[in-house]
Structures are given as structure tokens and as C-alpha cells.
Amino acid sequence: IERALRGQSDEEPEKKEVLTLARFIDEIWWPTYPSGRGNRPTTIHEKEGHIRLHLKPALGQLLLTEVSAQKVTALFGDLRTLGHSRKGKPPQEGLKRRRREEEKIRTTRERNRKPRGLKDKSIRNIRTALSTILSSAVEWGYLAAMPRLPKVKVDDPQWEWYRAEEAKLLVAAVRDEWERALLLFPLATGARMGEQIAIRWGDVDWQSRMIHIRQSAPGGKEIAGTKSGRHRAVPLTPELVGALRAIEHRGEFVFVNEDGTRLRPGQ
């Protein structure tokens, strides 16, 4: 329709300027991505970090047509050894945090006597962010074809669960009813940290002995949907019912500080 209004035929597609990756992200992609796809706040925050810390410093000055498997492979190699791109500098607003992160990495390196890079799962997430950006560039006519990006294989994670006797010892070491409820809740429900922080008293069904996990506070920040985007109901054990009754209060959220504020991840 836009071409027709300008007097162009279907055989005369509009030629768009070839942009650098950084310019495409800043001017075209990022203004559309967060609000246009219904993404969760954690997903937006994660993509922003991948772009700011890794993709733009290493590949941002390249034209979209110059982003190749060879250059992306080199970036992934840097990330595996250094944990960040060798090119570019972090933006001013993240400088203090970056220095703290680098200090932690430096301390760990001195302790372990070996460099600490990003894990393959993190690198795969960065690859996914880049692939999403380039796919949009192809879809919107800024790139003729999708380049072949190197694949990142991630091994299945190995989990070490608390055994029943270990869980009992853990709960037996609590100092008060508050700590008992705080520990019993994830042990009995399997809730993630953010889900536990976001639990309200209205989610506790005393009559049917069920806990309804509908929302999460990822990173202890704003309330959003669960990671899977689904609501689930988990039976309450008699022990957890007693623990929750012991800390019952009139606030909205179950797990709060004395002043009524929600817990933070560090707590």
C-alpha cells in the first residue's frame, strides 16, 4: 500500500540504506522489540544486556551485510575466554557495575589461576539475541538474507537435589518460625525464588490445601508472569500449612520484611 501511494510498482521495492548493526538496533529494532512482542521484563532486560555488553562492542560497527559466521565465531571465542568482548567500552551508566563485575572476575582468576569466561548457555542466549535481530532485519528489508551463525551446543545441566534427610537437617537448624516457613515453602512447593517473593495470601487456598503460583518477581523486581507463563496449583503439606499459619499477617504478600516491603533476592 505504501509503495502504491508513492506511485511505485511491486517490481520496484524501496531500497533501504545499509545500516550498521548498532544503528539498526538503536534506530529500528530496539524501539519496536520490547513493546511489540509482549516480552516479559526479564526477557527485555536480558536482551538489553546482551546487546550492550557483547553485541554492540564487538559487532556494532559492522554493516548488517558484514556480520558473518567468521566474525561471530571470533566473538564467541572471546566470550569463552574473557567473558566479555575485547572491543569497545561499556557505557557510562554501567561503568561502576562493570568495574565490580570485573573485580569479582579478577579475584576469581587469581584464586583459581585460570580465566573465567561465559558458559555455553550464556553464549547461546547471546546468539539467540543476535539471530532475532538479524531475522528482523531480513523481514523488514534491511538485509537480503540471513547469515549462517555458528551453533552453540549446551550440555544438559546436572542438578544436585536435597535428599529428604538433608532437607530435614536444614529445617531443623532454623532459629524461628519465620525461617521455618521461608525454607519449607520452596522445599514443599518447588517454587522459584521470584515466585516465592511474589506469593500473596490470596494465592493460599486454606480450604482445599492448595497454593496457586501465578506470578513471579524475577530478580526481586516488578511482578510479572511466571517463567513458563503458566499458572500452576501445588498441594500444601500439613507441615507447610502449620508454618504459614504461624507467620500469618495482614499484609498482601506472604514473605515480607518487618516494614511490609517484599524480600530481596539476597535475603
Give residue 225's pLDDT: 74
pLDDT on residue 88: 45
Pairing of strands 224-225, 215-216: antiparallel
Q: How far is CA 134 from CA 24, 34, 76, 140, in A?
A: 10, 16, 17, 10
Helix (H/G/I), strand (E/B), else coil: 20: strand
pLDDT at 182: 93
Scored b (16 or more CB within 10 A) or e, 152-179 reads: beeeeeeeeeeeeeeeeeeeeeeeeeee
Residue 112, CA atoms < 13 Å, CB-side half-sphere? 10
Give 63's DSSP letter. Answer: B
**pLDDT at res. 127:** 95
Give bridge partners of residue 225 from the DSSP assignment. 215
pLDDT tens per residue across all 267 residues of the chain = 777 777 766 665 567 888 999 999 999 999 887 655 566 777 788 889 999 999 999 999 999 999 999 999 999 999 988 765 544 444 454 566 666 777 776 666 665 555 568 889 999 999 999 999 999 999 999 999 999 999 999 888 777 888 999 999 999 999 999 999 999 999 999 999 989 999 999 999 999 999 999 888 877 677 777 777 788 999 999 999 999 999 999 889 999 988 888 888 878
- At 185 the pLDDT is 95
pLDDT at 237: 94
**For position 90, what pLDDT does the model report?**
45
Question: What pLDDT is attached to residue 200?
Answer: 93
Residue 141 to residues 134, 137, 144, Cα–Cα distance (Å): 11, 6, 7
195, 215 in Cβ contact below 8 A? Answer: yes
pLDDT at 137: 94
Residues 6+ apart with CB under 8 A from 259: none
